Amino acid sequence: MKDTLDTSELDPEPRQRVRALFLSDLHLGTRAFQADRLLGFLRQVDADVIYLVGDIIDFWKVRRGPHWPQSHNDVLQKLLRKVRKGTRLIVVPGNHDEVLRDYAGMYFGGIEIHDALVHITGRGRRYVVMHGDEFDVVVRNAKWIALLGDKGYEFALWLNAPLNWMRRHFGFGYWSLSAYLKQRVKKAVAFIGAFEEAVASEARRRAVHGIICGHIHHAADRTFKDVHYLNCGDWVESCTAVVETMEGHMRVIYWVEPTVRLIESKVGAPVMVGATGIEPVTPPV
């Protein structure tokens, strides 16, 4: 298999297989979740192991009144069908589904729940996998501010729908206002940079090659000196994921139905060969 994801000529069954697939920040239970686009992606890509890297079900929103159409059930059913066919499904809870952290270390019908763990690629590179809210001082120390910011972010996401209806009417493609605002606000950019540095420092502390996380809805493939930082992005704005190809390379991909856009890794050729699999780790202190 080539080290690419070619999803032209759609078939009803997955056409591309990867060693590992990392998805974060789906936010099921909200209107912002792009369920149909994720379903299209899951029909085209299959994996030996799927990591759900936090904020899969948005319990913050569900408590206030969920939006749960059939498409949200379809996504869960699609994931469960993959488990029945032999895919390993690992859930790493985030801050919006932190209630699941009470069940860390448990197994439910082929689904594993872990606070954090290490993924080992086919080339022997070790990546710690965690949601990332552990490094967000607002979430950890001032949750009421996080909830207030969540409402403002939710409003920006709501504006995306009428705005893109107008763009489609005039022949333009999808564009995310919320993502644009997040990129343009200096404080948000500074927060993203500080977050990435903190996450990279955690990977360095654990003596691993890299880290895979989510939380900030900003897909990334970067290196910080000796650490490979990967962020899965989200499925409310960008529709992005991280994959490990069958050749053992880590990639960030953007799903633009019916194709994906691939971001090449900036990391040099891996130097370790041999071990594959995952191992549990403890949360950061």
User: What are the tens digits of pLDDT across the range 60-117?
Assistant: 888 778 789 999 999 999 999 999 999 999 999 999 999 999 999 999 888 999 999 9
CATH of 16-280, one of 3.20.20.70, 3.40.1380.10, 3.60.21.10, 3.40.50.300: 3.60.21.10
Residue-level pLDDT at 155 = 58
Residue-level pLDDT at 128 = 95
The residue behind tokens 């003596």 is 207
Question: Considering only 42-46, 105-109, 197-201, which range has the smallest mean pLDDT?
Answer: 197-201
The residue behind tokens 């904020």 is 55
Average pLDDT along the chain: 78
CA nearest to 154, candidates 24, 30, 56, 25: 30
**CA diameter of the chain:** 53
Quick one: tokens of 208?
């691993």
Residue-level pLDDT at 200 = 86
Quick one: tokens of 270?
């891996």
CA distance to 35, 36, 76, 79, 159, per residue, from 70 (Å): 10, 10, 10, 14, 23
Residue-level pLDDT at 66 = 77
Residue-level pLDDT at 180 = 58
Contact of 146 with 139, CB cutoff 8 Å = yes
Contact of 232 with 242, CB cutoff 8 Å = yes
Angle among Cα 184, 254, 30 to the nearest 5 degrees reads 70
- pLDDT band of 1, cuts 50, 70, 90: very low
**Boundaries of every domain in the chain:** 16-280
pTM listed for this prediction: 0.73
List Cβ<8 Å contacts ≥24 apart for 262-269: 262/4, 262/5, 263/219, 263/221, 264/221, 265/221, 265/228, 266/221, 266/222, 266/223, 267/210, 267/223, 267/228
User: What are the tens digits of pLDDT across the range 211-226?
Assistant: 999 998 889 999 988 8
